[in-house]
Amino acid sequence: MKDGAKAWIVFADRDLEAAKGLLENEYVANIVLFHCQQCIEKCLKAILEEHGAQVPKIHSVVRLYRIVNETAEGIEIRIDEDELNIVDDIYIDTRYPGGLGLLPSGFPTKEVATEVLEIAKRIYDKVFLYLNRDE
């Protein structure tokens, strides 16, 4: 794994661990979702770095996944875009007050945070295995 990709995946791992550590406190469920989104974003940027592609300064995991598929030839990671859409939508709703969308109350439940954490874990595991496939 290239050093740049390794740096991204280490940061992704830290976000995943932060999300796990905060999950039991429903009061900060929005922060759990933030760290889950950050984990996925950094995983996708790790793939781009591994393939020597330009890493864009964007946060949409849907857009990043599309860039990965356009840029990284031979990529063997399939991610459900519906899940990525959920992550993008919830990320916006939980970062900015007053947003309308999936979370009309402005704050997610522990159940929503748990669901998104599972998505982040699955994506992290797939990307980690992909990046370490030759080692």
Tell me the pLDDT tens digit for each residue of 17-68.
999 999 999 999 889 999 999 999 999 999 999 999 999 999 999 999 999 9
- The hierarchical CATH code for the domain 3-131 is 1.20.120.330
Angle of helix 61-71 relative to helix 81-95, nearest 10 degrees, comes to 140
Instruction: Please give the model's pTM, rounded to 2 decimal places.
Output: 0.89
Q: What is each CA distance from 13 to 67, 93, 105, 123, 126, in whole angstroms?
A: 22, 23, 29, 11, 13
Find the radius of gyration of the CA atoms of the chain: 15
- Per-domain boundaries in the chain: 3-131
SS (H, E, C) 10-37: HHHHHHHHHHHHHCCCHHHHHHHHHHHH
